[in-house]
Homo-oligomer: A and B are copies of this chain.
Amino acid sequence: MDASLTLLILDLVGVYFFAVSGSLLAARQRFDLVGSLLLACVAGLGGGVVRDLVLGAGPPVVFTQPLYLVPPVVAVVTVYFISASVRRYNRLLVVFDAAGLALFCVSGTLIGLNAHQHPVAAALLGVTTAVGGGLLRDVIANVTPTLFDQREFYAIPAFVGAALTVAAESAGLLQGVAAIVIAALVFGLRVAGRRLRWSIPLASRNVVD
């Protein structure tokens, strides 16, 4: 399987996972099916649109390859048939969001490197892609972004994944295998960090009320 096909599959699967997170949020907020589709599109495709606008190499891929519209539609159908409690939605949302984050920080970085960006820019692009869709999803649905939630361990795994992708690429490791190993690691970090309540110091050493 060649590198660009691997990358396309990684990217589409990432779109699906984030799109499910968008539809789950729509279900939890009791939006209707159209709201579900729109939030699936924003969550699944938002990060990639920002990435492609930044790269500036023509229209974002979703506008040139309608194939990218399939995962959001499948996500809406998937979520429609899940019967669950609000509590279970939240748990599912974290898992799908983590999977999307894992795949996008890798695929976003690789797309940046393939577009001949220098390594720091490519890693930054990977983090932007990974964090962007979920951030847009939360801002648009008017909930506090997961990104700023103290109980979550969100951006660090994406930074780690983007940095490892740059390192693996410059070490000449095979893209396909390395990509999946790194994505699995990012997913594990995100989920473990949440479960084990890893926390990061507050933004200020000392806030006096």
Q: Which residues in A have some Cβ–Cβ distance to B below 8 Å?
A: 23, 26-39, 49, 53-56, 58-60, 62-64, 66, 69, 76, 79-86, 89, 117-118, 120-121, 124-125, 131, 135, 139-142, 144-145, 147-148, 150, 154-156, 199-209
Contact = CB atoms under 8 A, between A and B. Distances in A.
A202 B30 contact: yes
Q: Which 10 pairs across A and B sit closest by C-beta, in order of nearness?
A: A36-B203, A27-B204, A83-B206, A32-B200, A26-B203, A27-B203, A63-B121, A66-B120, A85-B208, A35-B148
B155 A38 contact: yes
A144 B147 contact: no
Contacts of A142: 139, 142, 144-145
Contact of A64 (B38, B121, B148): B121
11 contacts: A31-B203, A33-B201, A35-B203, A53-B54, A54-B63, A63-B124, A64-B118, A69-B120, A81-B205, A86-B207, A86-B209
B56 A56 contact: yes
A21 to B, nearest CB: 12
B139 A28 contact: no
A199 B58 CA distance: 38
A208 B84 contact: yes
Contacts of A85: 207-209
Contacts of A205: 80-81, 83
Contacts of A131: 38
A142 B147 CA distance: 12
B80 A203 contact: yes
Contact of A148 (B29, B56, B83, B203): B29
